[in-house]
Structure 1
Amino acid sequence: MQQYNSIKGKYPDAILLFRVGDFYETFAQDAIITSQVLGIVLTRRANGSASHVELAGFPYHALDTYLPKLVRSGHRVAICEQLEDPKKAKTIVQRGVTELVSPGLATGDKMLDAKSNNYLAACHINKEVIGLSFLDLSTGEFAVAEGNRELAEKLLHSFQPSEILLAKPQQKAFKTYFGDRFNLFAMDDWVFTSDHTRQLLLNHFGTATLKGFGIEEMESGIIAGGACIHYLADTEHSNLAHIRSIARITEEQYVWLDRFTIRNLELVHPTMEGGRSLLDVLDHTTTPMGTRLLKRWILMPLKEISRIQARLNRTEQFIKNRETAIELGAQLKLVGDLERLIGKVSMLKINPREVLQLARSLEAAGQIRALLEASGLSDFQSLSDRIHPCEKVRERIFRELEEEAPVHVSKGGLIRTGIDAELDDLRAISRQGKDYLAGIQQEETERTGISSLKIGFNNVFGYYLEVTNKHKDKVPDDWIRKQTLTNAERYITPVLKEYEAKILGAEEKILAIEQRLYDTLINDLQEYVAPVLINASVVAELDCLLNFAEIAIQFNYHKPVLNDGYALQLTGSRHPVIEQQLPLGEKFVPNDILLDPDDQQLIILTGPNMSGKSALLRQTALNVLMAQMGSFVPAEAATIGLVDKVFTRVGASDNISSGESTFMVEMTETASIMNNLSPRSLVILDEIGRGTSTYDGISIAWSLCEYIHQHATAKTLFATHYHELNELEERFERIKNFHISTKQSGQKVIFLRTLKKGGSLHSFGIHVARMAGMPKEVVQRADRILQELEQQQIGKDLQKQVKQIKDQTYQLNIFGMEDPIMQSIRKKLSETDINALSPIEALLLLKELQDLINS
């Protein structure tokens, strides 16, 4: 156990898989955890000084089955291999850790979801500035960002890293900011120093500066990025040629979507079991890279009109040129996961079958380039020019590897005949030897009369003759018995052993030559890492655009018009997810939406329960996001002034684990929205103030509407059951009342789901209770109580009180503002003795203050 303890001491935070012969063994606490996670037997050694130590193990060939289970359960796993042939070891077999696998460093297919990235993140908190980095080891994607807490939280929720690195002293601060839902790994704080991390990045990229990546001034981002590179080196990951660039993520590039909005709009995950997300509806991509890219496009819509327009134009080209689109779709189906395949090449982890898949994918990429060039579609010229055919290496792979090459090199038979003369000669010897063995079997069968005689092989004593017990009395004297089985016995002969030596010697050399030739091929493939990654990027983008075209045709989406204005106008808009879930024969009722900061900035939306208010709110936001990700939209027409932030506050959910009630969560989320509004924001508010008393709720809802109208002028949809808020339309010029229409017939209510001007005074809550199957006596009693309350005019009294609310006067109080310029003006004025100023000095002071304001 001395060797084990020495190695384990270097990896105290990881489960150590210790290779012993044909098994991986775990000991002590590692064995207890491994036994529990994998469901395998926990035992102890039968004797020796370590007989008290817990033990759990599994065969080496089961590593691909068991390793993913350990990693997915959140454990770091150090794989300790035998570094020399045990037969040649003079003392204890030399062993060492060849790889450390953690949730953020998974690269095996069984540990990864082909449709999602697997990000390792690092976080550095420097007072108010938080630096983040995100790295997908399997694809080589690497990006950094820095900003305030809100930006960090948004990015963490969008990227959903499997593991986050941070300095040990910052663990408490991180959990205070972001909760404990992330898988953290704390490292020594010296790792997160500026000089160390910057130098690591410079060394990795082989550059003298980071200016070319646009991150030179991002100190906290650089620290986070360098921490990832440090961690890779620390975990025995040295072959990283596929990590060839580092991107900068800034607020200016993408629409702001906080975690509440991502959740409330169900962009990538449904909130209810069995539901569907926007990603589920939009994802008709063909390649794994395309699926992953589409997910990023959904979570990070664009704010740059030229980039949005480029995607829309290319989508439109595919719609108009169906033949080209169909041909491209057929080629895309032949493309494998180029990103992860070339990543495995870079990390020297690719198997022969995957190399063939890489070659076939490159062949399809070449066909895609040819199709784009022949199509004459001008919008795709820049994309097709970026595709590298990689013809030489592609042809070499097909020339050198057998079409049905094995998964593992050790199985042999992967190199074609004619590639290496020595290999061909040895194979001939091997084939002749095997023919000779077949001859021995025939000869001995005839000599002994044992019809069931057969020749077999095992690793213990090589080739043998096996005779069933029924014929063992016919065994000649010159056979040597080596093994007795339940129903048979095994023998060897001198002639058999002589030919075994020749055959095994040849086969051993064959495997060695095939390994050498394969290693040479993989090493030569390294120079193609960069062009293959570019090919993967182009193919993924084409896949997404072709996908947009297909769903636009299939679901009747139309091309939106985006501009630099502020108005939002949707004609015949629909909810992209709900319309796909309606029962057969039922059609979604489309609606027109107009939000204009000059005239109709804020819509107060009233109407009954179940009438479709929440769907209307969400479909408006989804139409905007789809347009700004470059997709056609579920509307007859859409004109959208560029939106920079989308906020939603819908539904009710407690945060009991943090000691927060439904209402506290609601107010916290709403406060975050109010503190981050801009004139280009789109705000979706649903039932604000319902978690408290009626008067409190109305007061908060009223005040929020006033604030949004008077301050940021953000485009807002505000759904409510507080019909008293209809009064706001009379007081504020840009607040308008709308309702979702219904038709009442006796005790029945028909939901027409059409948006109409004017407020509604009825919620029909009792009708909904009846539809939900509430006991009849409860519904009848509720009806009687409602009639009594209406007769007492309680609601009318409240409406009367609402009309008497005084308007708020909004004044600019420079002496109470926190703005640095206003503070400077206040300081200047408070320090000035007005009585001592001459007229000229007073004018100069006034000019100075004016310049301060203008700055």
Structure 2
Amino acid sequence: MGSRQDSVSIRQDEGDGCCAASARSDLSTILSSVLTMLGRSLDSQRGITRIFHCKATAKEFVGVIQAVLTAGKELRKLVLEDTDNVSSQHRTVHSSLLRRLISTASSSAVLANAVKLLSCLDKDAADQGDMINLFISSVDQFPEVAEGHVTVQMAKQKLDLLIVEYRKQLGMRSLEYKTVSGTAYLIELPVDRRVPSNWMKVNSTKKTIRYHTPEVLKNLDNLLLAKEELAVICRKTWHKFLMDFGKYYAQFQASVESLAALDCLYSLATLAKQNNYVQPNFVPENEASQIHIKDGRHPVLESLLGDNFVPNDTDLHADGQYCQIVTGPNMGGKSCYIRQVALITIMAQVGSFVPASSAILHVVDGIYTRMGASDSIQQGTSTFYEEMNEASNILQNCSSRSLVIIDELGRGTSTHDGVAIAYATLHYLLKNKKCIVIFVTHYPKILDIQSEFEGSVGAYHVSYLSTRKLLQISDEKMGISTETEDLGEITFLYKLVAGASDRSFGLNVALLAQLPLRCIKRASVMAAKLQEEMSKRDENKLLRLMDEPSRDGPWESSPEVGLLCAEPHQGLMEACRRILRDMRSAQSNNDVTNTLSCLKSAQEIASKMIKG
């Protein structure tokens, strides 16, 4: 990773003065020129493989080998092989990885073999797919091809000698063979010209008739046969030529792979320079797992949003807080944040600079994610099954050096089951794996896990601003006619802050998705009703707990309450009993206003008790 990061720094503005800056400029210019040329050429990696498997056409062969040769010659300008200039080489190419890649891509053996291979072929014939004229034949190199060409030439010479005889025979000094509609070696004569009876008429016009003589037909058959034999020889020779390339394959494959690596590194360097990426730092292997990212940015969204993207910090450490539970409104940026952390981790480990102000992390042995899911009709599995299968894979394979990212686990089943599974999964990760975890959820109950893993789990949410307004919503069937505080405007700030979010703003998303207003209003009524029922259940549970006798007797007789009943708390205790009676009455009458008043009074009494 370190050598790759050094290589990526070729376009960063760092150096030791004008000479170093000039050297880096030359390196960048040459690499840019080479890679631009390769971008316009055929796919060299694919081409080399096709050549090795004898599948390449002559045009592909020439294109790929020529690209490797041209790139190698340009890169040779950066390689200073004489020992007297080693220091100059190091100044020009300071990265050991870059030096190795450039040397491999432009090795003398590769360039010499490329010249040798291309010298055997005619480029124009290769471009046109002309196999007969493809080989620059010589008796020593391609004897069969040379012999085939000689046979063809002899057949053509015999035909040329025949036209000389026909000129004398017909007394026509300007007589030449004609080719019409693909038929060659035609003798064209006026209509009134008498010819031997064994001359075969091929075609005619109003003024001329075209013939093939028996001698021409015989020699033409010989010529066609010679050409066919030459074509067969050329195909066999081409196949053998590709087979012989096998002894050069390893060299060219290494060169092409080096060019591909240079392309990748240069692209990463260009990206880092254009977007102000920084070099990440890795802690030693004996240090605890940790991820510290300052002003981290999503590399893809940043390119789309530019300066409008909101960066976020990430601080996780195995010896401190190593789990983040992220809550917040829908469309608020939760998934973007966790993807951002994963992408920065991946980019750092492949040797790239990262989109952040600074980044310190350990070398992870795996990044495990559970984000989104879809069913598989072919395998007969549901969406929820796929979700559980992914979670199972994470729990079985992750380790303390892994990064685990889970997004809304348990949403594909009932609320109770979903909460239970999500809670148990996170609990297993924290207790048994102790790995870095970012857990996104809409279930507030998950936050209770903080009490068991105090200091190790932090609650966060993506911040927002909301403006509340009252909507008049009525529903006769449900018996509700009230002003509901909902569907106010929400402004997403996309900033990760400490603390849990109390709302998800699902109805706002439904409104953005243009669900029918009647549907949204009914959903708002149902939400208000469910919230009210939940509040009543909580209040009734509290009242029952206060009414139920403890193991030692009624709650008033417990030691703690006994202290309250003693002076000077006797008056406060009486006030508590009075508030309890008033709250029961308000609950029975469904009087929300009096219930809230009782709770406020209870808060004041509790404050007095604390002050003593």
Same fold (TM over 0.5): yes
Native 8 Å contact 1:400 1:419 kept in 2: no
Native 8 Å contact 2:163 2:175 kept in 1: no
Corresponding residue of 1:671? 392
Corresponding residue of 2:519? 778
RMSD across aligned positions (CA): 4.1
Offset from partner CA, 1:146-182 (integer Å, 9 cap, x none) = xxxxxxxxxxxxxxxxxxxxxxxxxxxxxxxxxxxxx
521 and 743 in structure 1: CA distance in 2 versus 1, 3 angstrom threshold? same
Alignment partner of 1:416 out of 120, 133, 136: 136
Give me the whole-angstrom Cα distance separating, in 2, the residues matched to 1:332 and 1:444.
65
The secondary structure found in structure 1 opposite 2:125 is coil
**Higher normalized helix content (fraction of residues):** 2
1:353, CA displacement in angstroms? 2.6
Offset from partner CA, 1:355-384 (integer Å, 9 cap, x none) = 322431332343254144243434233334
Corresponding residue of 1:536? 256
Offset from partner CA, 1:626-662 (integer Å, 9 cap, x none) = 1112222222221111111211112242233333322
Corresponding residue of 1:567? 290
Alignment partner of 1:615 out of 307, 330, 336: 336
Corresponding residue of 1:639? 360
Q: How does 1:788-803 map to 2 (within 5 A)?
A: 788-794=529-535, 797=538
Alignment partner of 2:70 out of 364, 369, 387: 364
Corresponding residue of 2:7? 314
Offset from partner CA, 1:767-809 (integer Å, 9 cap, x none) = 11111101111122222332333344449839999xx9xxxxx
Give me the whole-angstrom Cα distance separating, in 1, the residues matched to 2:449 and 2:169.
104
Q: How does 1:647-666 map to 2 (within 5 A)?
A: 647-666=368-387
Give me the whole-angstrom Cα distance separating, in 2, the residues matched to 1:648 and 1:505.
67
439 and 641 in structure 1: CA distance in 2 versus 1, 3 angstrom threshold? farther
Native 8 Å contact 1:481 1:489 kept in 2: no
Alignment partner of 1:688 out of 404, 409, 424: 409
Give me the whole-angstrom Cα distance separating, in 1, the residues matched to 2:100 and 2:310.
41
Q: How many residues are aligned here?
A: 487
Q: How does 1:321-336 map to 2 (within 5 A)?
A: 321-335=24-38, 336=42
749 and 484 in structure 1: CA distance in 2 versus 1, 3 angstrom threshold? same
Corresponding residue of 2:277? 557
Q: How does 1:584-603 map to 2 (within 5 A)?
A: 587-603=308-324
Matched, 1:546 2:266: yes
Matched, 1:377 2:94: yes
TM-score, normalisation: structure 2:
0.69
Native 8 Å contact 2:272 2:353 kept in 1: yes
Matched, 1:751 2:454: no
Native 8 Å contact 2:148 2:230 kept in 1: yes
Q: How does 1:696-735 map to 2 (within 5 A)?
A: 696-733=417-454, 734-735=456-457
Give me the whole-angstrom Cα distance separating, in 2, the residues matched to 1:328 and 1:799.
74
1:453, CA displacement in angstroms? 6.6
1:725, CA displacement in angstroms? 2.5
The secondary structure found in structure 1 opposite 2:124 is coil
Which amino acid is the alignment partner of residue 742 of structure 1? Y
Corresponding residue of 1:395? 115
347 and 753 in structure 1: CA distance in 2 versus 1, 3 angstrom threshold? closer
TM-score, normalisation: structure 1:
0.51
797 and 653 in structure 1: CA distance in 2 versus 1, 3 angstrom threshold? farther
The secondary structure found in structure 1 opposite 2:462 is strand
Give me the whole-angstrom Cα distance separating, in 2, the residues matched to 1:684 and 1:795.
36
The secondary structure found in structure 2 opposite 1:658 is coil
Matched, 1:480 2:196: no
Give me the whole-angstrom Cα distance separating, in 2, the residues matched to 1:664 and 1:798.
37
Give me the whole-angstrom Cα distance separating, in 2, the residues matched to 1:777 and 1:705.
39
Native 8 Å contact 2:460 2:496 kept in 1: yes
Range moving further from structure 2, 635-644 or 347-356? 347-356
Structure 2: 5+ residue stretches without partners: 14-23, 81-91, 141-145, 469-487, 546-612
Native 8 Å contact 1:604 1:735 kept in 2: yes
Native 8 Å contact 2:69 2:115 kept in 1: no
Give me the whole-angstrom Cα distance separating, in 2, the residues matched to 1:316 and 1:687.
38
Give me the whole-angstrom Cα distance separating, in 2, the residues matched to 1:640 and 1:717.
15
Give me the whole-angstrom Cα distance separating, in 2, the residues matched to 1:759 and 1:443.
108
Give me the whole-angstrom Cα distance separating, in 2, the residues matched to 1:618 and 1:475.
90
Native 8 Å contact 1:448 1:476 kept in 2: no
Q: How does 1:468-547 map to 2 (within 5 A)?
A: 476=195, 478=197, 480-481=199-200, 491-497=211-217, 500=220, 503-504=223-224, 507=227, 511=231, 521-522=241-242, 524-547=244-267
The secondary structure found in structure 1 opposite 2:449 is helix
The secondary structure found in structure 2 opposite 1:638 is strand
Native 8 Å contact 1:406 1:412 kept in 2: no
Native 8 Å contact 2:58 2:127 kept in 1: yes
1:429, CA displacement in angstroms? 5.2
Offset from partner CA, 1:698-734 (integer Å, 9 cap, x none) = 2222222222222211111111111233333344220
Corresponding residue of 1:49? none
**Kindly, what percent of the aligned residue pairs are identical?**
31
Native 8 Å contact 2:464 2:492 kept in 1: yes
Which amino acid is the alignment partner of residue 500 of structure 2? G
Give me the whole-angstrom Cα distance separating, in 1, the residues matched to 2:237 and 2:539.
86
702 and 424 in structure 1: CA distance in 2 versus 1, 3 angstrom threshold? closer
Corresponding residue of 2:350? 629
1:577, CA displacement in angstroms? 2.5
Native 8 Å contact 2:125 2:131 kept in 1: no
Corresponding residue of 1:386? 104
Q: How does 1:346-361 map to 2 (within 5 A)?
A: 346-361=52-67
Offset from partner CA, 1:113-164 (integer Å, 9 cap, x none) = xxxxxxxxxxxxxxxxxxxxxxxxxxxxxxxxxxxxxxxxxxxxxxxxxxxx
Native 8 Å contact 1:606 1:738 kept in 2: yes
Give me the whole-angstrom Cα distance separating, in 2, the residues matched to 1:789 and 1:373.
74
Native 8 Å contact 1:479 1:492 kept in 2: no
Which amino acid is the alignment partner of residue 383 of structure 1? L
1:682, CA displacement in angstroms? 1.0
1:486, CA displacement in angstroms? 12
Structure 1: 5+ residue stretches without partners: 1-307, 805-855
730 and 519 in structure 1: CA distance in 2 versus 1, 3 angstrom threshold? closer
Native 8 Å contact 2:325 2:438 kept in 1: yes
496 and 638 in structure 1: CA distance in 2 versus 1, 3 angstrom threshold? same
409 and 696 in structure 1: CA distance in 2 versus 1, 3 angstrom threshold? closer
Native 8 Å contact 2:463 2:494 kept in 1: yes
Native 8 Å contact 1:568 1:640 kept in 2: yes
Native 8 Å contact 2:3 2:95 kept in 1: no
1:758, CA displacement in angstroms? 0.6
Native 8 Å contact 1:552 1:558 kept in 2: yes
Native 8 Å contact 1:456 1:466 kept in 2: no
Give me the whole-angstrom Cα distance separating, in 2, the residues matched to 1:520 and 1:661.
55
1:393, CA displacement in angstroms? 2.9
Corresponding residue of 1:738? 460
The secondary structure found in structure 2 opposite 1:366 is helix
Which amino acid is the alignment partner of residue 744 of structure 1? S
Question: Which of 1 and 2 has greater Rg?
Answer: 2
Give me the whole-angstrom Cα distance separating, in 2, the residues matched to 1:574 and 1:319.
19
Give me the whole-angstrom Cα distance separating, in 1, the residues matched to 2:254 and 2:132.
33
